[in-house]
Structures are given as structure tokens and as C-alpha cells.
Amino acid sequence: MLETFLALNLCFQETEEFLSKLVVKKTVSAKINRLSGIIQFASSKNPNDILDDWSRNIQDLMNLVKKSTHLITKEEMVNKLQR
């Protein structure tokens, strides 16, 4: 981030405010890590791609829940047989 505010001829606070406004206006897509002073710029994604990723993540999560439920049921059945 140091290079950014030097290039813009602004102080650190002004640079952060300037970039924050650009992000809010959706002019750029970026994440600012204040602790390390690093700005990560990213290209904006198509909303359909975002929804596809979200759907895929939800599907993966549901598969894990299904598998966990199956294993829990199996364990309960084994414990009942041992009694």
C-alpha cells in the first residue's frame, strides 16, 4: 500500500479513503489488509458465476451432512447390537 499512496501523492489515510470509495462505487474490486498494508485487487465476477460457486459449495456441504448423518446412524446401530 505504501507504493500506492506514494504514486497517488497522498498520505496513508487519504489513500485508504480514496480506495475505499472506489470499492464502494464498484469502480474496482479490492481488499485492504490494514495490518500488513497490502491491497489485493481482484476482477469482479459475473453474478451467475458467484451463484454457481455458492450452489456448488452448498451442495458440498449438504453431501458432508448426509455422510455424517449416515455415519452417526451406523454407529448408533452398532452400539445397539453390542448391548
Task: Say whether pTM exceeds 0.75.
Answer: no
Count of CA atoms in the C-beta half-sphere (13 A) of 47: 0
Say whether both 37 and 49 belong to one domain: no
Res 44: pLDDT: 73
Instruction: Give tens-digit pLDDT for 15-51.
Output: 788 888 888 888 888 888 888 878 888 877 788 988 9
51 and 80 in a single domain? The answer is: yes
Same structural domain, 77 and 62: yes
- The answer on 55 and 23 residing in a single domain is no
* DSSP state letter for 10: -
What are the E-state strand segments in 1-83? 29-33, 38-42
Write out the residue range of the structural domain in which residue 15 sits: 2-42
State the CB neighbour count (10 A cutoff) for residue 19: 21
Sole residue written with cell 448423518: 69
How many domains, the chain?
Answer: 2
Same domain, 31 and 64: no
Predicted pLDDT of residue 55: 95
